Amino acid sequence: MPRQQSGEPFERIDVVDGKDLLEKNRLKWIDVREPAEWEQGHIPGATLVPLNNLLLSPRQYLTGDGVVFYCAQGIRSAVACDMAAAVGLTDIYNLEGGIQEWMSRGFPVEV
């Protein structure tokens, strides 16, 4: 179940809730890892935007609300969530545990 920690402008979701949101296909998924990590496997339908690129030009990549950010474990994606909030987005999610937790559950990935 999504949860928002005190003072955070985004919601934290676990991979089970994330998979449910992915299946409903109502949100944009952004992977903030590096290209070499992406090539090892990523969530189907996600877009690669390395965190440094996002931080340098956030408005180029963040064109609307309804975004789930993820990385390897959920740390870089939390930074991305803060950046998204700084440019005015309000419907923002961080995938806790990242793709590592996603894959450990056997959820689908593309290579």
Contact yes or no for 5/12 (Cβ under 8 A)? yes
Which of 71, 78, 81, 95 is labelled catalytic? Answer: 71
C-alpha span between 80 and 85 (Å, rounded): 9
Contact yes or no for 33/71 (Cβ under 8 A)? yes
Query: Could you report the per-residue pLDDT of 39-54, keeping only the tens digit for each?
Result: 999 999 999 999 999 9
pLDDT at 82: 97
C-alpha span between 33 and 30 (Å, rounded): 9
2 lies in some domain = no
For residue 1, is pLDDT > 80?
A: no
Domain count, the chain: 1
Q: Is 71 a catalytic residue?
A: yes
CATH code: domain of residue 54: 3.40.250.10
1 lies in some domain = no
- Domain containing 46 equals 11-103
19 lies in some domain = yes
Lookup: tokens for 7: 């003072």
